Amino acid sequence: GENVEQHPSTLSVQEGDSAVIKCTYSDSASNYFPWYKQELGKRPQLIIDIRSNVGEKKDQRIAVTLNKTAKHFSLHITETQPEDSAVYFCAALGGATNKLIFGTGTLLAVQP
Amino acid sequence: DSGVTQTPKHLITATGQRVTLRCSPRSGDLSVYWYQQSLDQGLQFLIQYYNGEERAKGNILERFSAQQFPDLHSELNLSSLELGDSALYFCASSVGGTPTQYFGPGTRLLVL
């Protein structure tokens, strides 16, 4: 069935460093890949998304890259700040099922 | 604030009981999605409704059911509750033709 793998499960960086979170998906028909940020006890918030006809998308300090051949996409956060600390989830929209399948999450800790 | 509302915020009940969670989508959104988030299972898609009709089904137990009403709000009914049903339940909504989902604040259910 559809599956999304996410790595690493935890990531600790120093303030100002970059952070990279990677996901792979199984459904080759997937065509939409959002990233959500979730702070403790809060709702998942959409931070960036990318569609399959685009290889890269950037929004200020956040960028997402997509490699459809490898079925792999990544989130890049540059110049990290303590307020970037949260759990980040990747997801892939099933091509046939229209279901959003989530990765298992990455706990990002930015040390001041 | 995503514009998606959920009530109640917290719910404490006993095993065997039945509860109803309510969700109001963003103005203009026709699709409503329900997710369960527990510590060991991550974000699990339960069910999607589009303009009153069931559109997609995920790992939803037979003890759980949902519906979407003519005013587009949705209710998730959980019955014969078990300890393992304790989780955060999120509702999300999207405009019919786009995959971007916006999450509500969630309902935290505790089954004792």
Q: Residue B97: list chain A partners with CB under 8 A.
A: none
Q: What's the pLDDT score for residue A99?
A: 83
Range A69-86 average pLDDT: 96
State the number of CA atoms in the 13 A half-sphere of B94 facing the CB: 16
CA distance B68 to B53: 7
Say which residue the tokens 């793998």 belong to.
A5
| pLDDT tens, position by position, B24-65 | 999 999 999 999 998 777 899 999 999 999 998 988 999 999
The neighbouring-strand residues paired with A76 are A20, A63
User: B91 in the Ramachandran plot: left (φ > 0), alpha (ψ -120 to 50) or beta?
Assistant: beta
Interface touch B105/A43, C-beta < 8 Å = yes
Q: What is the pLDDT of residues A5-64, one digit of tens each?
A: 999 999 999 999 999 999 999 988 899 999 999 998 899 999 999 998 889 999 999 999
Coil, strand or helix at A32? strand
pLDDT given for residue A2 in this prediction: 78
Single-letter code of the amino acid located at A31: N
**Which residues of chain B are within 8 Å of residue A27 when distances are taken between CB atoms?**
none
pLDDT at A15: 97
Q: Could you give the CA distance from residue A10 to residue B70 in angstroms, rounded to a whole number?
A: 43
| Collapsed DSSP state (helix, strand, coil) of residue A94 | coil
Closest CB to B103 among A43, A98, A104:
A43
Q: What is the pLDDT of residues B58-87, one digit of tens each?
A: 889 999 999 999 999 999 999 999 999 999
B90 three-class SS: strand
- Both tokens of A25, joined, read 């998906």
CB atoms A103 and B100 under 8 Å: no
Q: What is the DSSP code string of B6-23?
A: EE-SEEEE-TT--EEEEE
Is B34's Cβ below 8 Å from some Cβ in A? no
Phi, psi for residue A83 in degrees, rounded to 5: -75, -5
- Residues of B within 8 A of A89 (CB-CB) are 42-43
Cβ-Cβ contacts under 8 Å, A87 against chain B = none
Please give, rounded to a whole number of angstroms, the shortest distance from the CA of B53 to a CA of chain A.
14
